[in-house]
Amino acid sequence: MEVIIQRTSRSASAYAGRLVSRLLQEKPAAVLGLATGETPLALYKEVTGLHREEGLDFSNVTTFNLDEYLGLGPEHPASYHFFMHEHLFRHINVPSSRIHIPDGLAKNVPAFCEGYEKAILDAGGIDLQVLGIGTDGHIGFNEPGSSLASRTRIKTLTNRTREDNARFFQSTEEVPHHVITMGVGTIMDARHIVLLAFGERKAASVAAAVEGPITAMVPASILQMHPRVTCLMDEASASQLKRADYYRWVFQQKPDWQQP
């Protein structure tokens, strides 16, 4: 696990944008796993800027989103379909046929989840997975207690997660209780994982994920077992890391050929 502490969320997102850019230059038909919420917004602005100003090409890219609320259609302003098209897809040249987002209106949820897993495999697997982290350490919507070997499935949201996400709705009562989410095992299959964490609210969960024991009570802690994870954070979210000075020193010694 590579821990990179940047002064601001903007500089951390810019670094993540360069990672995406380098991947697409090396593998134009890359498969991207994408996240929603406030955390990746600056990253999406970075890559849309690279597309607009430098011609970063998404025409052969395939995307898979982590999750979606059950009961929300793609036109609902709080759905992740709506979010992704508003903040990323309509600004880049990724073909609509290559965009995959869980179906919040799926009639047969288990069958849909099985098909989603198969679609990822058929695409060759995810090359780079973007993640955020919840205040309780969840990744995707894999809440504390989720199986660390889980696959795409239905999950029931905790009250804490519903309250955290209520800002995207008119009230907490409107936040759905259920979602479709990639499982922890699905996420761990990605060849490269980029975890973004910003703000003091994330400091405790970041410390638990990076320096704490591996436990299903902090699903993000399983990332310690992945061969290639890049954790990008600002100073606020890194404030509870005991080895923060060491992580900064390691980054300063990073060889030029490892820089994006």
Which of 103, 143, 164, 189 is an active site residue? 143
Which of 138, 164, 189, 234 is an active site residue? 138
Which of 46, 103, 117, 136 is an active site residue? 136
- Is 67 annotated in the active site? yes
Give me the amino acid identity at 114. E
* DSSP secondary structure letter of residue 82: H
How far, CA to CA in Å, does 77 sit from each of 69, 180, 215, 224, 248? 12, 17, 34, 35, 39
Which of 46, 51, 67, 127 is an active site residue? 67
What torsion do the CA atoms of 111, 186, 100, 172 make, to the nearest 10 degrees? 80
234's CB contacts (< 8 A; 6+ apart) are 5, 6, 7, 8, 9, 11, 12, 197, 198, 199
- Is 57 annotated in the active site? no
Nearest to 113 by CA among 175, 79, 64: 64
- Is 234 annotated in the active site? no
Catalytic center residues: 67, 136, 138, 143
